[in-house]
Copies of this chain bind each other. A is one copy, B any other.
């Protein structure tokens, strides 16, 4: 069958035969299928969607387009967490060590930030010396020793996904639930995990702004995992304001360390505990939800989580002194307060704009080629529903280049919408899909 015949089947809303899907994805991975045919098929899928059966084969074919890790030599269940991305989302950095401290191995392969969202790899690289790009053998060694490893995607994991993702980016075929879901799951399933907790973000700082589409994505992700024989739990969580207080790379790492030190903001702590408890349940080391929550709390209180992170940083070449002294992380030279221009209630945060303000400061990338400054960022000083007086701080910019601060300030100011009368802040977790 020629590629154009498979495109025609999808275009006409037919069911693509499994063998032809595999052949197509394989051809994409080997660069034997021209980009224009892959682009046409992606747009047809954007239009017509994928059936459950097609989606499973599509994901499996992408997963098997490259190396699939075999972690069976590492004892116990391996559980990972994946977030669909948001602003201030540094959960992985405190979550993975806590779960590891409770006895569940966390082989975490993360991405970089792009656009308004941050990426775990960039935050980790704020730690002097920390290497996110290590061999698969080293990765397994770190997981075995520290029970967690935090690395970036290697070239040989799901190469078909990498090619298709780059193509979707330039053909406006990104925002398709089946294509997003298969991209996420092909990479996660290639990690060789037993179970996965998904944090699907909803709101003004998420890729999915409304609950309905987020729920669809969560259900699609869970379905792929289930049909691949993996346990998957999806949390639908709020991204109508930044998570925690810090937006920036070094500052987010610092805030995550603070959580492990028994400090840190409530929302970040709460979400970390809930996701962690679920990972313990999926990892088979807790009797029930209460027991799981107790264990994660205990790992935080005892400092065991902090020790896991220290070990991981050491093993991955980073300077472990930052664990006890986060002030060793890079800091920006200047601060500037962005203040409320009127009194009222913080009614809305245009969270994507907050992320873009961070990007403008240098904390993020507009294109993959941009170089980021780990030291810069912003601290959010107001939460949804807060009563503000004129002149109260909304956020503090941390910057090295004043012209960037000048550009970021008005973006940030517009992102905080002050209204009258009380508002009900959104819940932290909307739903949990198991």
Contacts and interface: CB of A to CB of B under 8 A. Distances in A.
Interface string A2-39: 01110110010000000000000000000000111111
Contacts of A42: 40
A430 interface: no
A34 B40 CA distance: 13
Contacts of A170: 3-4, 34, 36-37
A101 interface: no
Contact of A172 (B7, B171, B172, B173): B7
Nearest to A6: B172
A42 B37 CA distance: 11
A36 B171 contact: yes
Interface residues of A, number: 24
Given A36-B38, A36-B167, A43 B11 contact: yes
Nearest to A35: B36
B11 A172 contact: yes
A75 B171 CA distance: 48
A7 B47 CA distance: 13
Contact of A43 (B34, B35, B40, B167): B40
A46 interface: yes
A44 interface: yes
A219 to B, nearest CB: 23
A42 to B, nearest CB: 7
Interface in A165-182: 167, 169-173
A25 to B, nearest CB: 16
A7 B171 CA distance: 7
Contacts of A36: 34-36, 38-39, 167, 170-171
A5, A39, A167, A173 pick with most chain B CB within 10 angstroms = A39
Interface in A138-195: 167, 169-173
Given A11-B46, A46-B11, A47-B47, A173 B35 contact: no
A44 B42 CA distance: 10
Contacts of A172: 4-5, 7-8, 11, 40, 44
A190 B3 CA distance: 33
A36 B38 CA distance: 8
A34 B36 CA distance: 8
Interface in A43-93: 43-44, 46-47
A283 to B, nearest CB: 41
A220 to B, nearest CB: 20
Contacts of A34: 35-36, 170
Contacts of A173: 11, 40
A39 B173 CA distance: 12
Contacts of A4: 169-172
8 contacts: A4-B170, A8-B172, A34-B35, A36-B36, A39-B43, A40-B173, A43-B47, A44-B172
